Structure 1
Amino acid sequence: MSPEFWQQRWQDNRIGFNQSEVNPLLTTYFTALNLSANSRVFVPLCGKSIDMVWLVSQGYDVVGVELAESAVQAFFSEHDISPTITQSTATEHTDNPAVKCYQGLLLGQIIQLWVADIFALTADDIGQVDAVYDRAALIALPADMRLRYSEQVRQLSNNVNGDVSSDVNGNTPQLLLTLNYDQSKRNGPPFSISSGQVQQYYSNHYQITELEGKPSILNAAPELTVTEHVWLLVSK
């Protein structure tokens, strides 16, 4: 998918993927990450997700990345936050004014949202990360981008390890949500991800545990039989 595709979706307000309620799989399974208070959670391709508000309400700081600046602006506006806006000072971004950082406080926690192509950022940009929550990023990407994406998220978040793993040099744990459906009837986004593909993208670096798979409804194609899966990824 080109950056222009997602920019246009936000511009046209074709954002059916944006949910009005917190994802119940997040509230049910986030404790599996075993994070301490004030841990920092990375939310890739975050949009203006209400899930970030839930994370803040649980006492976590949030750092997100979103391609569409209008989505980031909408998040801060809808939650009555006056953000501080800065342009990245990293050398590799000096000629790219589109790379910006919006930061504010919500319920006493820090929310920092980057406006950028996720592949343009570095771990130095993102800073400390204790866990990754991927609800709608992997499933938004076509197959030829997913392996690169999974490795980029690992690189962006590998500067610290969460409490769930005993390997202090390992990879930051992730809570990953995916969808599975018959691709012959529809071919995303959101894209169908099989259990075999999850293994393909993550098994080199993570121990993968499926926490739940349950029936779900895809707003764009309610007639489809869809299963939503939640995975815990822990450093090997």
Structure 2
Amino acid sequence: MNPEFWHKRWQEGRIGFNQSTVNPLLIEYFNCLNLTVGSRIFVPLCGKSIDMVWLATQGYDVVGVELFETAVQEFFAEQNIEPAVYQQADNPMIKYYQSQLSEQTITLWVADIFALTAKDIGSINAVYDKAALIVLPADMRVRYSEEVRKLSSDTSKVDGANNKITPQLLLTLNYDQRKKNGPPFSINADQLEQYYSAHYQIYELASVPSSIGSAPDITVTEHVWLLSSK
């Protein structure tokens, strides 16, 4: 992940990846996670995704992580919410914004995801990854998948190897990578096996036609995956 690349995109407002409506695949397949109302959903590399608003209005607390503070500030401003801002006790360079929406708590960390711990994130019941894995280059994806697993694991147990695996709803894109060199990057089933099969059962829930705004002539499919404990 090249922070300068994404920082420039946010500065210039080139955020076509940020959807103005809730992803319909989230609405259709979220119940596959079998969560009780009030559960806490982790959204890595969250940007200012409106999907987080939908999760809150459905009765779920949201915990997001975003590298760029501008995105977090814009999220709360666009939702007409005044958040409180807190610093991490051990690192004053890391902070989080927190407020209520539809009586649910939304906590957005401004940090490199690899600088956080499960203690920071707190108890998590599920992960929603719409636009995190697909923006990372191949050499970062294994590390990222492990980091998300650790951040969302059951922190009540001391031995991380025996922690309860938290389910994930994962959305990916698949296209001919020779025609476009991401991001977003194309991810296929074999790659998912490489990143997640050590700890998760991988189920494909859907495959639908999609598109990439910067490359409208490329044939793209969007895939919905459920990752659950083995």
Q: Quick one: which amino acid aligns to residue 45 of structure 1?
A: L
Structure 1 partner of 2:63: 63
Q: Superposed, which structure 2 residues align to 1:159-174 within 5 Å?
A: 159=154, 169-174=163-168
Task: Report the counterpart of residue 24 of structure 1 in structure 2.
Answer: 24
* Superposed displacement of residue 169, structure 1: 4.3
Conserved in 2, the CA contact under 8 Å of 1:130 and 1:160? no
Instruction: Please point out which of 212, 217, 221 is paired with 1:223.
Output: 217
| Structure 2 residues without counterparts, runs of 5 or longer | 157-161
Residue equivalent to 2:227: 233
Alignment of 1:27-176 (within 5 A): 27-90=27-90, 93-94=91-92, 97=93, 99-159=94-154, 169-176=163-170
Aligned mates of 2:4, 2:112 — CA distance in 1 = 11
2:159 aligns with none
Residue identity opposite 1:188 in structure 2:
G
**Deviation digits for residues 143-179 of structure 1 (CA, Å, limit 9, x no counterpart):** 0000000000000000269xxxxxx942100000000
Question: Does residue 189 of structure 1 match 2:175?
Answer: no
How far apart, in 2, do the equivalents of 1:126 and 1:170 lie?
15
Distance in 1 between the 2:177 and 2:82 partners? 42
Q: Distance between the aligned counterparts of 1:8 and 1:2, measured in 2?
A: 10
Q: SS of the counterpart of 1:211?
A: strand
Q: TM-score, normalised by structure 2?
A: 0.96
Residue 130 of structure 1 contacts residue 173 of structure 1 at CA under 8 Å; is this kept in 2?
A: yes
CA contact (8 A) 2:154 2:164 kept: no
Native 8 Å contact 1:160 1:171 kept in 2:
no
Mapped to 2, the partners of 1:7 and 1:65 lie a distance apart of 15
Helix, strand or coil: the match of 2:178?
coil
Q: CA deviation at 1:46?
A: 0.2
2:193 to 195, 199, 205: 199
Amino acid of the structure 1 residue aligned with 2:117: T
In structure 1, runs of 5+ residues without a counterpart are 162-167
Q: Partners of 2:122 and 2:5 in 1: how far apart? A: 28
Alpha-carbon distance in 2 for matches of 1:32, 1:122: 27
Aligned partners of 1:66 and 1:72 also within 8 Å: yes
Q: How big is the alpha-carbon RMSD for the aligned residues of Structure 1 and Structure 2?
A: 1.2
Query: Identity of aligned pairs, percent?
Result: 67
